[in-house]
Structure 1
Amino acid sequence: MSADFWAGYVSGAIGILVGNPLDIFKTQIQAGRVESKDLITDAAASDTGTPSKKYRRWTAFARGAAAPILGYGALNALLFVTYNRSLALLNTGGANERPERPPAWSIWTAGALGGLAIFFVSAPTETVKCRAQVSDPPQSSLSVVRELWKHGGIRGLYLGGGITSVRDAVGYGFYFWSYELSKRSLTSEDDTPNQQALKVLLCGGLAGVVTWASIFPLDVIKTRVQTWDLTTHRPATNAGNAAQPLLRTEQPAATIKHAMASRPSTFHIAREAYAAEGASVFFRGLGICSARAFIVNAVQWAVYEWMMKQLVH
């Protein structure tokens, strides 16, 4: 296969390994399972030798990683191949001739096309990852896949597929746009190899932050849609009854199946979140996500650029 396929695959898998611990926190905050201050409490407890039960085992930081590692490598490979081919077609009319300095509009468009192309991998990967990260008691990615398939078939694996595709198209448009333009501004032919490496890390990190800042509300809604039955509560039947969780793993299969079938629309879930928690709910976890995005994408772009040099030359 082509060099950009393997460079994209390996860089995507490495990016997941680097960023998964912070991604767990981001998903749980977005889904409403924890608050940002809880992360500080857990970190302080860990420093004193008494970590909270929820994060006591280091393996907890790998929750939900199996699906992204397997899926995101393929996703990233498809993303970069589609982006490079689209950019070449938009600027030269040939799929194998990538221009040296393409205009900004074509970079964004090629990135958006790449985002749309990965839908078939991205949607189920995101669904499994998010549900594995917020499930209580913890579930493996394989258990989540089995449960979704059993009660929803192929449709169950694509929960939130519509909002995921919009998020990916917009996000990856800004992703490649911000990376290419920042790289043009910061790098020069006179840079030493060490300077080039540092600037690639910086440009990759900036691209990650810009991307997530542009689509974070969409990502919050996506997470809420994909974990709705794991995190929402039924309204109280009377004033004296506390709300009960809608879905837990010990519930009978019939209840789980009903929860899957009665899922509200994406718009309804977004409106419900806004009514309950205000506009701030759509930016919950942005700080953690920005930190994660900078680290992950700095590493990911550095690995991608290095592999392209090794495979092409």
Structure 2
Amino acid sequence: MYRNFKTQAELDAQYSPIELGLDVAGYEKFYGINSAKVRQELPCKLNVPFGPTLAEHLDIFPAAQPNAPILVYIHGGYWFLGSSKDSSFVAKGLVSANVTVVVINYALCPKVTIDEIVRQNRAAIAWIYRNAESFGGNPNRIYLSGHSAGGHLTAMVMATDWENDYGLPNDIIKAGCAISGLFDLMPFPYTWLMPKIQLSWDQVLRNSPIYHIPEKAGSLIITYGVEESSEFHRQSQEFLTAWKAKGLVGEYLPLPGKNHFTAIDGFLDTDSPLCTAILKQISLTASS
């Protein structure tokens, strides 16, 4: 069994929101209602295709001013749940600060593998870079954020070899913010998730960001709810330590009083610690 855990039940108690006693349905309803409101209140272009399959599309929430920085958001859901429409709410606080927000939709496990999910998110970034000016965004000011599985995908996208794989500048992602991310996939073959995501060990090794930290990358904010389980703390702390050990710029943003689901409610408020940290990150790289 993984690390010091002796049973699947012990691991599930760390990674299952049901076992953690969280009101999953209540949080899903809250974000669903707020996402619907944001789509009604803000100008948006929905279901913009970036790839050949129906799942590969984007929702774009353009800032009022042209040539705006772009925050790309990757939703969570343990790679087998969710869609971009569940996360429209993340645009609220940032669009009002003149940041264009793009939410990626991607295919889910077990219909596709995590390898394919990573590929789709990388392809989405390439599409955004090449088409940014068509929706008023600045292709040279792309930032990235994601929650839970989206935090994992944020780290994987930041480790992309853009020049050799896509013919794009290697600094295409100026900075990132990974929220409650999953950077070490080693535990998951032993958990309740296995039938959902069907991980092979080679997939675990290919897709654990802690084993694929790039030589060069933009700055990275690592954050999670202080009330999250000890494994979520470990995942983020160990990744941030490894990131900084490579000489990369990284910082920890504490979110006291937050759990796995409320760690992202700061996107609703421009003045929240989460939005404030992301906007500061964007302003610090404005000249790059």
Q: TM-score, normalised to structure 1's length? A: 0.24
- Larger Rg belongs to: 1
Q: TM-score, normalised to structure 2's length? A: 0.25
Question: Could you say which structure has the greater relative contact order, defined with CA pairs below 8 angstroms and 6 or more residues apart?
Answer: 1
